[in-house]
Amino acid sequence: METAAVASKDVTVSLAEKKPKVVFVLGGPGSGKGTQCAKIVQHFGYTHLSAGDLLREERDSGSENGTMIKNMMNEGKIVPSEVTIKLLQKAMVENGNDKFLIDGFPRNEENRAAFEAVTKIEPEFVLYFNCPEEELERRILNRNQGREDDNIETVRKRFKVFLESSLPVIEYYKAKGKVREIDAAKPIEEVFEAVKVIFAPKVEKVKSSRCSSCAIL
């Protein structure tokens, strides 16, 4: 137990020294988070970390932690915040990058508070893909095969959970001026144009503006 605690502390210290830039990426099911994260990685050099993917990888690893995660998932229980945060910490420390997109986390206020308390990191901002429920339903039904009623029911449940759990997180960061909201109902390329404005370095924007002026002269 002591060894695990020491190892966890070492990871936290290493991460604090690294001082990574973290962006939380939130949005309802079907809002296009994954698609846009892939584009941000390609254009702006971020590393994309999905909390869900990390949990599934650990679950399938056969480790003691993985067995616990598997049992909790099988029982329909929510994996404790500390477990997910440790996986995120480990992934960030082991990665050579210092810029991370954390996708689908924090899912709720408890996640948010625990992440900041454990890692001592506040996100640079929250990238929020806002999309109406009707559009989310349309997208997911179009990409899924099977009985429509089942799909619609599932989507509506997931969207309800998102509204109840994740919106308070968005409101918390909005009060701190840290939310960058995107209209995710638009076509993929239009959405990315809006994303690019947020991620493009300020220096680059100024330089681009000056070059335009030079061209006129």
Residue 104 labeled ligand binder: yes
- 143 annotated to bind ligand: yes
Q: Is 62 annotated as a binding residue?
A: no
Query: Residue 147 annotated as binding?
Result: yes
Q: Report whether 49 contacts 129 (CB < 8 A).
A: no
32 is in an annotated binding site: yes
40 is in an annotated binding site: no
What does the block give as tokens for 72? 């909790």
Question: Is 138 assigned to a binding site?
Answer: no
39 is in an annotated binding site: no
Provide CB contacts within 8 A for 158, sequence distance 6+: 28, 29
Consult the annotation and say whether 139 binds a ligand. Answer: no
31 annotated as belonging to a binding site for a ligand: yes
Cβ neighbours for 58, distance < 8 A, ≥ 6 positions apart: 65, 66, 69, 87
106 is in an annotated binding site: yes
Helix (H) or strand (E) holding 130: strand 125-130
Torsion of CA 21, 26, 32, 33, to 10 degrees: 30
How is residue 42 written in tokens?
């390609």
Q: Establish whether 50 is an annotated binding residue.
A: no
**Residue 198, marked binder:** no
**90 among the known binding-site residues?**
no
28 labelled ligand-binding:
no
User: How does strand 179-183 pair with strand 47-50?
Assistant: unpaired
Residue whose entry in the numeric block shows the structure tokens 């990426």: 25
111 is in an annotated binding site: yes
What residue type is assigned to position 153 of the chain? E
Does 115 carry a binding-site annotation?
Answer: no
**Burial group, residue 174, by CB count within 10 angstroms (0-12, 13-18, 19+):** middle
Binding residues for CMP: 111
Binding residues for ATP: 30-35, 143, 186
Binding residues for a ribonucleoside 5'-phosphate: 56, 77-79, 104-107, 147, 158
Binding residues: 30-35, 56, 77-79, 104-107, 111, 143, 147, 158, 186
